[in-house]
Amino acid sequence: MAKLVTDVVCPFCGTLCDDLEVGVSDDGTKILEVYNACAIGAEKFLHSQAKDRVTRPRMKQEDGSWKEISYDEAVEYTATTLAAARKPLMYGWSSTNCEAQAIGTEIGEMVGAVMDNTATVCHGTTLIAVQDVGVPSCTLGEILNRADRIVFWGCNPAHAHPRHMSRYSIFPRGFFTGKGAKGRKMVVVDPRVTDTAKTADIHLQVEQGRDYELLTALRVAFKGEWLPDTVAGIPKKTIYEVADIMKSGRFGIIFFGMGVTQSLSKNHNIDQAICVTRDLNEYTKWNIMPMRGHYNVTGSGEVWGWLHGFPFALDLSRGFARYNPGDTTSNDLLVRDEVDAVFVIGSDPGAHFPNSSVKKIWDLPSICIDPHLTPTTAVCKLHVPVAFVGVETGGCAYRMDNVPIECRKVVDPPEGMLTDLEFLERVTARVRELKGA
C-alpha cells in the first residue's frame, strides 16, 4: 500500500499548480504515481527517479573525460574560482528556491558578481517595460472569480502552461463567473494558428514583428480615432470590433508570453500592451500578466528586489548594486568578454543562449549546479548534481502572479546528495574565509 502526499506544488512552470497528489512507496524512497499534474509536471517528478542519475559532483579532465569528486572538492573549486574572479557571472536561479537565491546573493556580494536570471532571455523585457510604465495586474484567483474577457497575446498555454486555462483563466467557474467558459470571451493574438488560438472566439493573426503597431492601433481605436485600412495585417474593422469587445467587458485580462517579449520591439511590445490595459481602466476593469516560464524565475526577481532593488541583471562588482540591461545582462557580458568566470544554477543557458555566448562559457572557469545532465553541464568545468527542489526538498517559490507558495518535499534525495541550499551554504562559508569578510 503506497502513501499519498497531497497538496503538492509542481516545480515546473510559473503556473505553480499546488493541487498535485503523489503516490510514494511505503519506505518513502520511490515516486510511484503523480495525479492531477499535466504531462510535463508529472514527468518532472518521475524523472527524479531515473536510474542513471548523476549523484556526485564531476570535474572535467584535460582529455575531456569526467572524474567523480567529493562535494568538499566541489565546494573548494567553486569558492576559489569565484573568489579569484574579478567579475564572475552568477546566472540562472529560476529553478531553485528563494532560500538558495538569498544565500547565493550573499556569495555574489562577497565576490562582486553579476547576478542574472533566466528573465534575461525571457521576461526581462517585461520587467523593463514595467519599469517604464508600471503594470496593472492581479492574482490568478481574481481571473477565476471575475474575468469575462481573456486575451492571450504571443503565448500558447495549451502547450507551455497546460493547466492554466482549466485552473484559472478559461474554464473554471468562480464567484462572479458561474457560467465558466460560456461567460468569457477569448481573444488570441498570434501569427501562428496554435492550439490555443483554435479554441478562441477571435484569433488575430498578427503579422510577425508588428505587435507594437497592432497594440498601438487598439489604443487609437479605444479613442475612436482614424486608423489605416489595415494594421499589422489586421483589417481596421476587426481592430475596432476587438476594441469594443475589450471595452465592454466587466473584468478583462491580457496574458502574454515570449511571442511578444522576445520578438521585434521586445520591451516596447509589453510597454504598449500595458498602456492598452491602462487605457481600458478608464472604461472598465482590466489587468495584464506575463506567463512566466520557470517555476521560480519570479522568486529570484523578488529576492533580488528586496536585497538590492533590481529584478535581474544586477552588477555587484563595485561593492554596490547597479543595473542596466544591455550592459549588465548575461549575453551582453559574455559576448563582450566582460566576465572571467561563470556559475550556473537552476537553468540551462547551454540550451537557451546563443552559440556565441555558450562558447565563452566553455572557455571560462565554470560551474553548473543542476540535478540533470544538460547542455550546460556538458560545457562547464564542474557539474554539481543536487536534490530536486519541489520533489526532494521544499522551499519557497513565486507563481507568475508573484504569489509565494511553499514547495513540498515528497521523497528523500539519493543518499548523500546535497540540496542547492546546503551546497551554497558551504560555498558561502568558504568564500567568507577566502575573502576574510
Partner 1 sequence: MATVTLKPIKVPDLRLEADNIKPDAFAGKKAAEIADLHVYCGNSQYPLGEFFEVAGEGGATAAETEVVIDGDVSRVKYIGMKMTAGSVLVKGNADMYVGAWMEGGTITVNGDTDAFAGMGMTGGEINVLGNAGNYLGAAYRGDWRGMQGGVIRVAGDAGSDIGTFMRGGEIIVNGNVDVHVGTHQEGGTIIVKGDAKSKVGGQMVEGEIYVFGDIEVMMPGFQHIGDVDVAVDGVSGRFACYKGDMGERHPRRKGETIYGKLYLKY
Partner 2 sequence: MAEYLIKNGFVYDPVLGIKGDRTDVAVKDGKMVETSALSNPAEIDASGMTVMAGAVDIHAHVAGPKVCVGRNFRPEDKLFRATPQAGIKRMEGGFSVPTVLRTGYDYARMGFGFVMEAAMPPLYARHVHEEIRDTPIIDEGALPVFGNNWFVLEYLKNKEIENTASYIAWLMRMTRGYGVKVVNPGGTEAWGWGLNCPTVNDPVPYFDVTPAQIVRGLIEANEYLGLPHCMHVHSNSLGEPGNYTVTLDTLKQAEGIAPRNEFGREQVLHHTHLQFHSYGGESYASKSFESKSKEVAEYVNSQDNITFDLGVVTLDETTTMTADGPFEHHLTELNHLKWVNTDVELETAAGVVPYIYSPKTFIAGAQWAIGIELGLFSKDPMRTFITTDHPNAGPFIRYPRVYKWLMSKAAREDMLDNVLKYGDSVRDRCYIGEIDREITLFELAQMTRAGPAKALGLANMFGSLKPGMEGDVAVYPYNPETSEDPEDIERAFSNARYLIKGGEIVVKDGQVVSNGNKRTFWVDCKVNENPQVERDIAEKFKRYYSVNLANYEVYAHHYVPNPYVIEVDATQ
Compute and round to an integer the Cα radius of gyration of the chain.
23
- The C-alpha atoms of residue 249 and residue 185 are separated, in whole angstroms, by 9
Q: Choose which of 112, 157, 162, 413 interacts with partner 1 (CB under 8 A).
A: 112
What is the footprint of partner 1 within residues 138-177 (CB under 8 A)?
none
Quick one: which segment of 22-30, 216-224, 279-287, 359-367 binds partner 2 (CB under 8 A)? 279-287
Q: Binding partner of residue 135 among partner 1, partner 2, none, CB under 5 to 8 Å per kind?
A: partner 2
Is the torsion defined by CA of 185, 189, 195, 196 positive or negative?
negative
What is the footprint of partner 1 within residues 308-327 (CB under 8 A)?
317-319, 323-327
- The C-alpha atoms of residue 401 and residue 350 are separated, in whole angstroms, by 28
Tell me which amino acid residue 23 is.
G
- First-residue to last-residue Cα distance in the chain: 53
Three-state SS sequence of 215-277: HHHHHHHHCCCCCCCEECCEEHHHHHHHHHHHHHCCEEEEEECHHHHCCCCCHHHHHHHHHHH
- The C-alpha atoms of residue 140 and residue 414 are separated, in whole angstroms, by 35
CB 347 within 8 A of CB 369: no
Tell me which amino acid residue 253 is.
I
437 binding partner 1? (CB under 8 A): no
Nearest CA among 13, 324, 12, 103 for reference residue 312: 324
Cell of 266: 521586445
Q: Choose which of 101, 125, 126, 265 interacts with partner 1 (CB under 8 A).
A: 265
244 binding partner 1? (CB under 8 A): no
Q: Choose which of 93, 152, 295, 310 interacts with partner 2 (CB under 8 A).
A: 310
285 binding partner 2? (CB under 8 A): yes
Q: Choose which of 176, 235, 237, 433 interacts with partner 2 (CB under 8 A).
A: 176
What binding mask, one character per residue, do residues 180-219 give for partner 1 by CB under 8 A, x or -? ------------------------------x-xx--xxxx
CB 50 within 8 A of CB 385: no
Q: Binding partner of residue 238 among partner 2, partner 1, none, CB under 5 to 8 Å per kind?
A: none
| DSSP states of 350-390 | HHHS-HHHHHHHHHS-EEEE-SS--HHHHHSSEEE--PPBT
Q: Binding partner of residue 317 among partner 2, partner 1, none, CB under 5 to 8 Å per kind?
A: partner 1
For the CB of residue 340, give the shortest distance to partner 1 in the complex, in Å.
6
What binding mask, one character per residue, do residues 19-58 give for partner 2 by CB under 8 A, x or -? x---------------------------------------
DSSP code of 25?
-
Nearest CA among 106, 117, 114 for reference residue 87: 114
For the CB of residue 65, give the shortest distance to partner 1 in the complex, in Å.
30
For the CB of residue 334, give the shortest distance to partner 2 in the complex, in Å.
22
What is the footprint of partner 2 within residues 122-141 (CB under 8 A)?
127, 130-141
Q: Helix or strand or coil: residue 29?
A: coil
CB 280 within 8 A of CB 222: yes
Q: Binding partner of residue 337 among partner 2, partner 1, none, CB under 5 to 8 Å per kind?
A: partner 1
Quick one: which segment of 5-13, 75-83, 238-246, 332-340 binds partner 2 (CB under 8 A)? 5-13
Q: Choose which of 224, 229, 318, 436 interacts with partner 2 (CB under 8 A).
A: 318
Q: Binding partner of residue 403 among partner 1, partner 2, none, CB under 5 to 8 Å per kind?
A: partner 2
Nearer to partner 2, 275 or 342 (CB): 275
Distances (CA, A) of 99 to 54, 293, 309, 345: 24, 20, 17, 13
Nearest CA among 134, 130, 141, 143 for reference residue 285: 143
Residues making contact with partner 1 (CB under 8 A): 85-87, 111-112, 128, 131-132, 210, 212-213, 216-220, 222-223, 225-228, 231, 264-265, 268, 271-272, 275, 279, 317-319, 323-327, 336-340
Residues making contact with partner 2 (CB under 8 A): 6-7, 9, 18-19, 98-99, 102, 106, 109, 127, 130-142, 144-146, 167-168, 174-176, 250-251, 278, 281-282, 284-285, 287, 301-303, 305-311, 316, 318-324, 394-396, 398, 401-406
